[in-house]
Amino acid sequence: MDLMYSSTRNADLKVTASQAVLKGLADDGGLFVPEHIPALDVSLKELSGMTYQETAYEVMKLFLTDYTQQELKECIRAAYDSKFDTEEIVPVVSVDGAYYLELFHGATIAFKDMALSILPHLMTTAARKNNVTNEIVILTATSGDTGKAALAGFADVKGTKIIVFYPKGGVSPIQEKQMVTQAGANTHVVGIHGNFDQAQTGVKQMFADKAFERELKEHGFQFSSANSINIGRLVPQIVYYVYAYARLLAKGEIKEGECINAAVPTGNFGNILAAYYAKKMGLPIAKLICASNENKVLYDFFQTGTYDKNREFVLTTSPSMDILISSNLERLIYRIAGNDAAKNAQLMKQLAEGGVYQITEDMRRELSDFYGNYVDEQECAQVIRSLYEKTGYVLDTHTAVAAGVYQKYQSDTGDQTKTVIASTASPFKFTRSVMKAAAPDFGEKNDFELADELSRIAHVKVPRAVEEIRTAKVLHNTVCEVSQMPETVKKFLKI
Ligand SMILES: *Cc1c(COP(=O)(O)O)cnc(C)c1O
């Protein structure tokens, strides 16, 4: 029996895993969720002897049950290869009493590569399995990292086009350069005059537009999503928590069955939700430490049970977490509502209409797996500086938010449980902010000179992803208003 997926807003809408991957978002605007979370069916001890690719298969086969063994193994093989600059794929590094799970060794040096290097393969396999002949148009809104990772993943993948919207002025110079230099005849990159939430809402509206869908179909196109709402992104992210645990076990850092905590720098709630799913699969995780920057809507939610996006949007030095609508939280809300789609739909309607909803006391009790907190800009910089001065290890700004919140968690609770911190980007992706925090006396330097300086002080080679864009030509220069997003898409598709 295949594990089926239903919409968080309509329990009657059921699809297979491959159909969910193809669609991205359910027709009713809900997110696809598995009808139950499968349990790991190999022991932790067995997992501790496995490679990343083998672990990926053991986890993903349980969720993506309508893919054959051969299809899934082929997707995994094609994704986790020499695009990563280390054979381990995700090294677990012990620094100053915590374990950093380095998720940034892929093509675009951020953790989005973990899922976006496999999603194109999962999607084209899904198209084949479901006899889809339309060309698949990936629409993506990005706060900076998803965009490049999705572009890199889908560039020149037959049967697909990809269109990325990013907030002009809301991403780092290196992030922007990475995107606008992307090669591949099927790639398009657009800056919008607006913030990430507006880009994401614009994309969601296009997905929900039935007339637009018909028009596309007449021209042989259909939309899909590479955003973290796609179950094909969520499932590959579960893998690295299982792998991290298995590595710690293999190295003798923990005993079999010993609980660990996971601290995750959070924006759209995809990465931490993957950790939650890993826990529900039976991985011994105690607390899920949800770290926010000054856009602390999640912290307030965990404190009060009220989700309220009506607040000032703050541009921070951890831009990939500058988000007020954490899309993937909907999957958690659905679950703590007792898998009640009607109840969840009601709350999401309140969010869409008034920007706020409140969960019940019963639901709040279900949140005890989580601890939420945040750090401000100054605290984030301080974390980078003090860890660098103490150990020489340089964190990126997002990871530093998690490290700072983990410190607060420890002093709040005294909990000494071993903790894995999801290290979501290379410091070379946010060089200026990182250097300003770690070693600010660098004088006048451009971002590439700064990368060389960072390389010198951190004793880490400048990653290939940065070297590549030093001299790359700008290939995309479209900028539009939020309201012009649909016509921009049509222009690219020539319809
Ligand atoms: C996307 C991103 C995050 C936030 O992850 P979510 O899954 O959206 O919560 C954190 N750090 C970096 C570097 C990212 O690119």
- Summarised one tens digit per residue, pLDDT across range 324-383 is 999 999 999 999 999 999 999 999 999 999 999 999 999 999 999 999 999 999 999 999
Distance separating alpha carbons of residues 234 and 228, to the nearest angstrom: 6
**Residue 295, ligand 1, Cβ within 6 A:** no
CA of 297 to the centre of ligand 1 (A): 15
Q: What is the pLDDT of residue 229?
A: 87
Who contacts 103 (Cβ-Cβ below 8 Å, separation ≥6)? 90, 110, 111, 113, 114, 240, 422, 423, 424
CA angle (395 as vertex; 328, 288 as ends), nearest 5: 35
Contact 297, 324 (CB under 8 A): yes
Distance separating alpha carbons of residues 237 and 118, to the nearest angstrom: 10
**Residue 294, ligand 1, Cβ within 6 A:** no
What interhelical angle do 119-129 and 231-250 show, nearest 10?
A: 130
**Residue 190, ligand 1, Cβ within 6 A:** no
**Residue 200, ligand 1, Cβ within 6 A:** no
For a pocket test of ligand 1, which of 102, 145, 146 has the largest count of ligand atoms closer than 8 A to its C-beta? Answer: 145
Structure tokens at 20: 């969910």
Distance separating alpha carbons of residues 440 and 434, to the nearest angstrom: 9
Who contacts 491 (Cβ-Cβ below 8 Å, separation ≥6)? none
Q: What is the pLDDT of residue 13?
A: 86
CA of 116 to the centre of ligand 1 (A): 13
Who contacts 46 (Cβ-Cβ below 8 Å, separation ≥6)? none
SS3 of 50, please? coil
Atom of ligand 1 nearest to the CA of 425: 13
Provide the H-helix boundaries in 13-51. Answer: 17-23, 44-47
**Residue 149, ligand 1, Cβ within 6 A:** no
**Residue 245, ligand 1, Cβ within 6 A:** no
What are the distances in angstroms from CA 26 to CA 15, 270, 363?
9, 17, 24
Model confidence pLDDT, tens digit, residues 126-179: 999 999 999 999 999 998 788 999 999 999 988 999 999 999 988 888 889 999
Q: What is the pLDDT of residue 29?
A: 87
Structure tokens at 183: 């090669």
Q: For every one of its 495 residues, what pLDDT tens digit does the chain have, with 9 covering 90 and above? A: 899 999 999 999 899 999 999 988 898 889 999 999 999 999 999 999 999 999 999 999 999 999 999 999 999 999 999 999 999 999 999 999 999 999 999 999 999 999 999 999 999 999 999 999 999 999 999 987 889 999 999 999 889 999 999 999 888 888 899 999 999 999 999 999 999 889 989 998 998 899 999 999 999 999 988 888 899 999 999 999 999 999 999 999 999 999 999 999 999 999 999 999 999 999 999 999 999 999 999 999 999 999 999 999 999 999 989 989 999 999 999 999 999 999 999 999 999 999 999 999 999 999 999 999 999 999 999 999 999 999 999 999 999 999 999 999 999 999 999 999 999 999 999 999 999 999 999 999 998 999 999 999 999 999 999 999 999 999 999 999 999 999 999 999 999
**Residue 331, ligand 1, Cβ within 6 A:** no
**Residue 456, number of CB atoms within 10 A of its CB:** 11
Distance separating alpha carbons of residues 486 and 479, to the nearest angstrom: 13
Provide the H-helix boundaries in 26-116. Answer: 44-47, 52-63, 69-79, 112-116
For a pocket test of ligand 1, which of 101, 178, 271, 301 has the largest count of ligand atoms closer than 8 A to its C-beta? Answer: 271
Model confidence pLDDT, tens digit, residues 198-223: 998 999 899 889 999 999 999 999 99
- Residue where the block lists tokens 């060794």: 105
Residue owning the nearest CA to atom 15 of ligand 1: 145
**Residue 425, ligand 1, Cβ within 6 A:** yes
Q: What is the pLDDT of residue 226?
A: 87
